Chain A
């Protein structure tokens, strides 16, 4: 390598649109929160979400009153829409942690303008996910029995069960996501405190910002804390969906008992999560005119990650069928056959179309750069991932080892109301968040501006 050429480093591409200053970034993001004029689309969406939330409360009331039989749960299918929804929601949450933690460690600075709302998405998706296993308990008011605590009954949870692992994984995930999100908010809460007009708002944001003053000492500890939390959240997010997949793989139900579920589930989670990020970012940047901060470059990058994880998911489907055939186990082969050609074949082939065929359109830059097409694609992916979990769970349980016990699952309207209701809950929480807290991290976007760089001669 004697004649090694010195290659000049190409100029760094600017992530956000040119022409922004520290003040204009702050004003634009804070104005969404501090304005007196709430846009009409906010009210419209919030009202719709509120309606769905009421539907959710109705469905939960019915469930508490009559029991889990109001869902279509009948022997042998005792996991159906509820667990499908649980896995779907928690998977969606994973993209938020990926953006905030993994992309921070990888120094992907473009994440700075989408990490805040993606983390909020994580938090609310986990809240929706948590509803389902708890509601599914039958006696949800006794959910604290899931945790080990000294009790007069003299019994304790079975730590050899993946369902107990799941309780710890999901509750840790919810806690750490909330902490990470709040720590990320502190400097911006300080900004809101200093800019709020009304005294009550000043007090509220002041209390929440804990006395942040942006001192160099604060920032030094703050940066360390962010990095450490990112380092902790990274293995955590990978472990959560792994543990969720253990709920299935540790069982011996045909179609579940497989060692490649963990990576396959994690890839699927990130795939659906990025779809949700796009489904939220595209309308929001349009509604609030934030195209300069959430640029086409962001959409393009998110679409690329979506495609990459989608291809992993597609590969997993093929391997699943291959492993069943190559393993030569009659029950495994039957399970795959039931999926492909059995009573749930429509769901299976729609999911294959959504998750294997559709993501390939994202090879084309034209599609990745068109917000409307990307929005449609993200909805297709979300539908595909919901169907994937449905097919894995229901088709395996409805037709397991013993043909005499087979019985097909039929969803009831209460299944539908509960699921649609959590979409209402999610939207309700998310729209409260964008109205009351900055949906884009102000201080991290300031750090993206070219004028934030201290010039070399200063140190020299």
Chain B
């Protein structure tokens, strides 16, 4: 069953206030929460334990695939599919493969970095409930938001709102679906 609201959101005026509030909410035991800010705040990663993500692994795999693809493509074409004997030079002339192998490593690693970023963030995402809060438009401007989601086991519409009020926010509002 879908909970009646998406969550409860509090608005703050400074990055410090947001970090303090996030730390307090985590300390209180909330797990399903997210903080929104107009620029990256390193301390939020500490508060929400976001230091590790899968992106480096994705990029490594992409790069390895690109390198293998580049080398094998050239090997296949120059040795098997379309061998040309130029003044008796070996068909498998690996030094001249280096550049294209390198370029394709970078190309596929970069594409997987961007693809991985989109996958980890769930992009493209045409709809998200947080935008139903009118003041949330300021999250990309100069305000800082903390949202505790209804899927959290500790979530209770009234109690969570009350808790957020104790953190001295500018405003607390409910997030409709």
Contact = CB atoms under 8 A, between A and B. Distances in A.
Interface of A: 21-23, 26, 148, 154-160, 164-165, 168-169, 172, 175-176, 179-180, 182-183, 187, 190-191, 193-195, 207, 210-225, 228-229, 232-233, 235-236, 239, 243, 246, 443-444, 446-447, 451-455, 458-459
Interface residues of B, number: 72
Interface string B80-97: 011010100100010011
Contact of B121 (A193, A221, A459): A221
Q: Which 6 A-B pairs have the closest CB atoms?
A: A211-B125, A22-B142, A220-B50, A210-B123, A194-B137, A219-B40
Given A216-B44, A232-B106, A191 B120 contact: no
A183 B99 contact: no
Contact of A175 (B19, B107, B117): B107
Nearest to B97: A159
Contact of A214 (B23, B110, B114, B140): B140
Given A190-B140, A221-B121, A159 B113 contact: no
Contacts of A172: 103-104, 106-107
Given A169-B99, A229-B114, A452-B15, 6 more contacts: A154-B82, A172-B106, A179-B113, A211-B127, A213-B128, A236-B106
A22 B141 contact: yes
B37 A224 contact: no
16 contacts: A26-B141, A159-B74, A179-B114, A191-B140, A212-B121, A212-B140, A213-B128, A214-B139, A225-B116, A229-B114, A232-B106, A236-B103, A243-B99, A446-B39, A454-B42, A458-B23
Interface in B14-69: 14-16, 19-20, 22-23, 34-46, 48, 50-51, 53, 55-56, 59, 63
Contacts of A207: 124, 126
A145 B16 CA distance: 57
Contact of A165 (B43, B100, B126, B137): B100
B131 interface: yes
A194 B137 CA distance: 5
Interface of B: 14-16, 19-20, 22-23, 34-46, 48, 50-51, 53, 55-56, 59, 63, 73-74, 77-78, 81-82, 84, 86, 89, 93, 96-97, 99-100, 102-104, 106-107, 109-111, 113-114, 116-118, 120-128, 130-131, 137-142
Contacts of A233: 106, 110
A167 to B, nearest CB: 9
A193 B141 CA distance: 11
A221 B142 CA distance: 21
